[in-house]
Amino acid sequence: MTERSFEMIKTTKLTKKYGTKTAVDGLGLCVYEGELFSLLGVNGAGKTTTIRMLSCLSKPTSGEAFVGGYSVKEAPQEVKKIIGISTQDTAVAERLTVRENLRFMASLHYTDKAKIEERTDEMIQVFRFQEVENQLAKTLSGGWQRKLSIAMALIGDPKVLFLDEPTLGLDVLARRELWKMIERIKEHRTIILTTHYMEEAEALSDRIAILQNGRLKALGTLQEIEEKAGVKGLENAFVAIAGKEESL
Amino acid sequence: MKRALAFAGRNQKEILRDPLSYLFCLAFPLVMLVVMTVVNESIPKESGMTVFRIEKLAPGIAVFGQTFLMLFACLSVSRDRAGSFLVRLYATPARSGDFILGYQIPMLVLGAAQTAVLYAASYVVSLIVKTPLKPLGLFWSFLSLQLSGILFISFGLIFGTLFSEKAAPGLCSIIISLSSFLGCIWFDAESLGGIMLKICKALPFFYCTKIGRSALALSFTKEAFWLPLLIVASCALVFDLAAVLIFRSRMRADLA
Ligand SMILES: Nc1ncnc2c1ncn2[C@@H]1O[C@H](COP(=O)(O)OP(=O)(O)OP(=O)(O)O)[C@@H](O)[C@H]1O
Ligand SMILES: [Mg+2]
C-alpha cells in the first residue's frame, strides 16, 4: 500500500455508547482503497458495532466516519450505494431459492432487468451455486447459507464490502474455500473483515487492527503487529496485545 | 418504486410458499362457510335467525378471512424484524417507504384473491341451497370489502412492527376473536340490540360486515351502506397512515 492510496474509510474519534457502556471508544483508523482490513478483538470488543456504524446501521454517538468520502452521518444514502454487508448472523430470505435471493438483492441495487440477471448469473458462477440455485434457502446447509449471504452482499458490486465473521460455523474445508473466494472477489474492492480465527486474518489481511473494549490497541501489517508485541505469529501477538490488562 | 415492487415480490413468494397461509386464509374460511351453511339448513325458518343465510354469511366469512390476512401481515413483519434479514436490507439503497409498500402490496393482492375465491365459493353454495346470490351484488360487495382489507392489513403491520414475533400473533388472535364477535359475523347484534349493539357500533368491525352485506343486497341507502362505508374508509385511512408512520419511526429507532 502506498501512502497516496485513496482513503476509502476514515474514522475520527468514532464512538458508540449504549447507556453507560461504551462499545466503541474514540476509534480513529483509515482503510485504503483495495485493502483487506481485519478487525480483531475478543467477544464484545466492538467489532460488530464498528461495522454497523460504518454501514449506516447504527448512528455514532460522537465522532465521524467517512466511507468512500461520504459521511455516514450526513450522507448515509450515498454510503449505502457503495457498500455491501454480510452480517454476523446469516441473513437470507428462507422461502426464496438461491437464485431468487440473489435476484431480489440485485433489484435493490439495479433497475435494469438485464443487469439484474447478469449480476445474478455472475454470482452463481463465482460462488459455484449451479447445483443449488433452485433450492429454497432454508433447505441449504449452514455453510451454503453463509455463502449465499455473502454473495448477496456482493451483488451490488460494492466498493466496500463488510464481512462480519464470514467463516463462522464453517468446516475447515469450507473455510479454506471461502478464503479462496474472498481472494477472488477482492479485485480492487476494499474489504473489512472480522474474525476470531487468527490464521484467517494472517492468510487474508493486508493490515490488521486489534480492538479491546472498543479501543484501538494495535494497527498495522502482520509484521508491524508482531514487532509491536515482540512475539512471532499473529495468535501470540494477539494474546499479548488483547490479553493484556488495561492500564487506565 | 421498483425497489418496493422487488420487496413486495419477495414477501408475496414467502407467504405463498407457507402452507399455513392457505390453511388459515382460504381453507378455514371455506370450511366455516360450508359448516355454517349446513347449520343454517337445520335452523327452522320460523326462528327468524338469518345470520347464517348465505347472503349474510358470505360477507361475514369474507371479513373473517381478512382477519387472517392481518395475522399473516403481522407475521411477515415480525419475523423479518426478529432475524437479521431486514437489517441487511436497511444497509441497501432501499428506503422505509419501499419496505412498508413492499409489505402492503402483496397483502392487498392476496386479500383481493381471497375475497374473490370466497365469493366464488359462496355463489356456488348459494346455488346449491337454492337462494342464488346476485352477481352484481357480489361484485360491489367484493369492492367495498377491499377497504376493510386495508384496515385489517394495517392492524397486522402495526402489530408486527411494534411487537415481537412471539407477542404479535397473540395480539392478532385477540383482534380475530373480537372482530368475529363484535363484527357480528356469527350473530346478529342488530336484532339483539341493547349494550351489545352499542359496543359493536363503537368499533369498526361491525361496519366492515355491514358494508359487505348491504352491497351484496344492493341496498345502497345512507344508513345501510354509505355511512358505514365512510366509517370503514376513514378507519382504513387512519390506520394505514398510522402503520406507515409507526414503521418509519421504528426503523429510525432501529438504526439509532
Ligand atoms: N444494541 C446494543 N445495546 C446495548 N449494548 C450493546 C448493543 N450492541 C452491542 N452492545 C455492547 O457493545 C459491546 C460491543 O459489542 P459488539 O457486538 O460490537 O462486539 P463484537 O466485537 O462484535 O463481539 P463478537 O466477537 O462477540 O461478535 C458489547 O459489550 C455489547 O454488549
Ligand atoms: Mg460481532
B184-224 pLDDT, tens digit each: 888 877 777 788 888 888 999 999 999 999 999 999 999 99
Pure H helices in A21-132: 47-54, 76-82, 98-109, 113-126
3-state helix, strand, coil in chain B (%, to 5): 85, 0, 15
User: Do A15 and A215 touch, CB atoms closer than 8 A?
Assistant: no
Tens digit of each residue's pLDDT (9 = 90 or more) over B95-122: 999 999 999 999 999 999 999 999 999 9
As for the ipTM of the complex, it is 0.90
pLDDT computed for residue A247 by the predictor: 52
Contact between A208 and A37 (Cβ < 8 Å): yes
Ligand 2: centre distance to CA B59 (Å): 52
At a CB cut-off of 8 Å and minimum separation 6, what does A4 contact? Answer: none
Ligand 1 contact, A45 CB (< 6 A): yes
Using a CB-CB distance cutoff of 8 angstroms, which residues of chain A are in contact with residue B85?
91-93
- The arrangement of strands across the sheet holding A21-32 comes to A21-32, A7-18, A62-67, A70-71
CA-nearest of B214, B227, B193 to B55 is B214
Question: Under 8 Å CB-to-CB from A229, ≥6 apart: which residues?
Answer: A218, A236, A237, A238, A240, A241
List per-residue pLDDT tens for chain A, 248 residues long. 455 689 999 999 999 999 999 999 999 999 999 999 999 999 999 999 999 999 999 999 999 999 999 999 999 999 999 999 999 998 999 999 999 999 999 999 999 999 999 999 999 998 889 999 999 999 999 889 999 999 999 999 999 999 999 998 888 888 898 899 898 888 789 999 999 999 999 999 999 999 999 999 999 999 999 998 889 889 889 998 888 776 54
Q: What is the pLDDT of residues A54-68, one digit of tens each?
A: 999 999 999 999 999
Residue nearest to atom 28 of ligand 1 (CA): A44
For residues B99 and B106, is the Cβ–Cβ distance under 8 A?
Answer: no
> Per residue in A148-180, is it b (16+ CB within 10 Å) or e — as a string?
bbbbbbbbbbbbbbbbbbbbbebeeebbebbbe
Closest A-chain CA to B17: A95
List Cβ neighbours of B85 (8 Å cut-off, separation of 6 or more).
A91, A92, A93
Residue linked to cell 490464521: A199
Among residues A211, A200, A229, the alpha carbon closest in space to that of A43 is found at: A211
Helix boundaries (H) for B129-188: 135-162, 167-182
Ligand nearest to the CA of A25: 1
Mean pLDDT over B75-88 rounds to 92
